[in-house]
Amino acid sequence: MKRVGNLSLTVVTVALLSAFAYFAYHGHRITEVAGQTAVLSTLGVLPYYALRSFLRMLAAYFLSLIFSLTYGYKAATDARAEKILLPVLDVLQSVPILGFFPAAIYFFVSLFRGSILGIELASIFLIFTSQAWNMTFGFYESVTTIPIELKEVADAYQVNGWRRFVKLYLPAGIPKLVYNSILSWSGGWYFLIAAEIIAIGPVEYSLPGLGSYLIKTAEEGKLGLTLAGLATLVAIIAVMNTFIWHPLSTWAENFKYEFETGGGRTLPKGWGYRLWYEAPVFRELRRLIVSGATALGRAMISLGSRLPGRPYFPQVGRVVFWGFLLLLTYSLTRGLIALVILFLPPWHEEIFTVPQAIFYSFLRLLAAYILSLLWTLPVAIWIGHNEKAYNVLMPVFEVLASVPATALFPIIVFLLVGFAGGMELAAVLLVLTGMQWYLLFNLVAGVKSIPRDMKEAAMVFGLRGFKYLRRVVFPALIPSLVTGSITAWGGGWNALIVSEYVVYAGETYMAFGIGSLLDKAIYTTGNFQVIWSSLMAMVLVIVALNRFFWRRLYEWAATRFSFEAEE
């Protein structure tokens, strides 16, 4: 009976994939008639648009993964590079996705002379900017909090180079990489609308996809089609969570640190597990993927061991570093000259409202962060200790985290804007959707990473209730809380661009703040003085917060609360 069930699961999955491919092809034919960059608001194009958006997300995710592994590894293992790379990362994550529009347009679109390829690359680049930073911070945290005993063992056995990366650093980063990959996909879906409609003033480039479909139907007031697009997005997210992220999340628990001897290997359960581990065709596909990844890892280790060692690599590294530094210096110099010319008088009057706009937006972010913390902290502790609740609620949270706030805006407008202070409350709630999931997933990862032997020791010593929380849970959560807060505030600043300025059914709803100021400058006036003054003010505030508050808090947490045996 079990084999019959697994065969049925394979047949149903293949049938659904085939049906999706058919309707996607049908939508492709409709789009071909309308043109490659025309965005249609009809029901028949949804499968094709969903496929286009998914492929863009996938390409951006692989770029983000490569970037996170290389950048996070270098920042975590090189003290001198860390002093440069972390501030740069703080700046990059503080720039909202709209801030990368000029680069996307002038580099990718201009390089390919406005062709569809250039617009596609620009869109993938923009999605990358919404995915990469939290993955990089997560991998950096994982490497910097590896117990000193493991590093000493690796040193004793002379595990260096590629072998050290594959055997020590990569396994240590897998739990946070998986959790932050879920967040990255959520962030990508969240900002998909901005990534598929690239505009500065009258210049606009659109790509067929779910994001552009949602915004077009929302602007036209076609609530039924907007809900259909939202349902398609939720269906994709649910399928990914069931068959990809949930099995990967449970599998990633095998890489958390346990200080006890023995221990069993945890395997994922549910439909995703049955599909990949027991169902025909997919089981063989999983084995093929695993064997290919294993062979690639061994080849990388072998190549690393054969390459020239100490006499040559430092020199090559220095050449690459100084070459990159010179290129960065040249780019910054050119950029500063252009900014000086741009800010020559006369100045636009809206520039003088930037400090006030920053203050109002900061208050909304603070309110959203407090509300996020009030519910995510107890929920993360509960589901982190309750496997049934984890299995039921995490897929739901993962779906909700990926729903774009702009897709929810028609409902929020209908419910709140008619009341006193409705737009202010709506803006805070929309900012909340851009902050809370970073906190929740990082806190859950922190709870799940508590070693089993520490929990058992707490039970033996009779630690219950608040004593258990104070002695075991809260110390384990501090690094994850700080990391989650850093990324949550970064996500919150980005969420301002879809929370303070939204167009629905031909009407503009706005709450004064830095997000609405930036939206208006980019999509309506195209005034570069306002765009760059808003961006620079936002970057300065975020970098100051990260440098003088969050970064110091993180360094304290990583030193004070790492799982290391004290002598």
pLDDT at 84: 82
265 falls in which pLDDT band (50, 70, 90)? Answer: very low
CB 115 within 8 A of CB 47: no
Mean pLDDT along residues 310-321: 54
Is the pLDDT at 119 greater than 50, yes or no? yes
CA distance 24 to 46: 8
Lowest mean pLDDT among 164-173, 263-272, 412-421: 263-272
Mean pLDDT along residues 342-357: 86
- What pairing do the DSSP bridges indicate for beta strands 501-504 and 507-510? antiparallel
74 falls in which pLDDT band (50, 70, 90)? Answer: confident
pLDDT at 35: 53
pLDDT at 124: 92
CA distance 232 to 47: 8
pLDDT at 260: 47
Of 430, 441, 447, 448, nearest to 371 by C-alpha is 430
CB 180 within 8 A of CB 134: yes
More confident call, 185 vs 260: 185
pLDDT at 33: 45
CA distance 408 to 226: 10
333 falls in which pLDDT band (50, 70, 90)? Answer: confident
Residue 137 CB contacts under 8 Å (≥ 6 apart), including other chains: 72, 89, 93, 180, 483, 486, 487
Is the pLDDT at 125 greater than 80, yes or no? yes
- Number of DSSP helices (H) and strands (E) in the chain, helices first: 27, 4
Mean pLDDT along residues 463-471: 74
CA distance 336 to 340: 6
Each domain of the chain, given as residue ranges in start order, spans 36-268+345-560, 315-344
Give DSSP secondary structure letters for 221-274.
T-HHHHHHHHHHHHHHHHHHIIIIIHHHHHHHGGGS---SS--PPP---SHHHH
CA 51 to chain centroid: 20
More confident call, 565 vs 31: 31
CA distance 173 to 142: 5
318 falls in which pLDDT band (50, 70, 90)? Answer: low
Is the pLDDT at 310 greater than 70, yes or no? no
Three-state SS for 81-135 is: HHHHHHHHHHHHHHCCHHHHHHHHHHHHHHHCCCCHHHHHHHHHHHHHHCCHHHH
More confident call, 325 vs 227: 227
CA distance 476 to 494: 28
Peptide bond before residue 346 is cis, with ω within 30 degrees of 0 = yes
Please give the helix or strand (H or E) that residue 510 lies within, else none.
strand 507-510
CA distance 40 to 27: 10
CA distances to 51, 381, 446 from 398, rounded to whole Å, are 20, 17, 17
Mean pLDDT for the chain overall: 77
309 falls in which pLDDT band (50, 70, 90)? Answer: very low
Best-predicted range by mean pLDDT (19-23, 271-275, 315-319) = 271-275
Is the pLDDT at 398 greater than 70, yes or no? yes
458 falls in which pLDDT band (50, 70, 90)? Answer: confident
Give DSSP secondary structure letters for 165-226.
IIIIIHHHHHHHHHHHHHHHHHHHHHTHHHHHEEEETTEEEE--SHHHHHHHHHHTT-HHHH
In percent, the amount of the chain with pLDDT more than 70 equals 75
CA distance 429 to 419: 15
Of 61, 82, 55, nearest to 128 by C-alpha is 61
Mean pLDDT along residues 541-552: 82
Query: What pTM does this model have?
Result: 0.73
Lowest mean pLDDT among 81-90, 140-149, 305-314, 442-451: 305-314
Of 100, 91, 85, nearest to 532 by C-alpha is 100
Is the pLDDT at 105 greater than 70, yes or no? yes
pLDDT at 36: 57
The position carrying tokens 């581990």 is: 277
368 falls in which pLDDT band (50, 70, 90)? Answer: very high
pLDDT at 377: 92
Is the pLDDT at 274 greater than 80, yes or no? no
CA distance 278 to 284: 9
CA distance 351 to 528: 11
Is the pLDDT at 485 greater than 60, yes or no? yes
Is the pLDDT at 327 greater than 50, yes or no? yes
Structure tokens at 347: 């100045």
CA distance 434 to 500: 13
CB 131 within 8 A of CB 64: yes
Best-predicted range by mean pLDDT (147-151, 153-157, 223-227, 516-520) = 516-520
pLDDT per position as a tens digit, 277-305: 666 666 677 677 767 766 766 676 566 55
pLDDT at 280: 67
Is the pLDDT at 162 greater than 70, yes or no? yes
56 falls in which pLDDT band (50, 70, 90)? Answer: very high
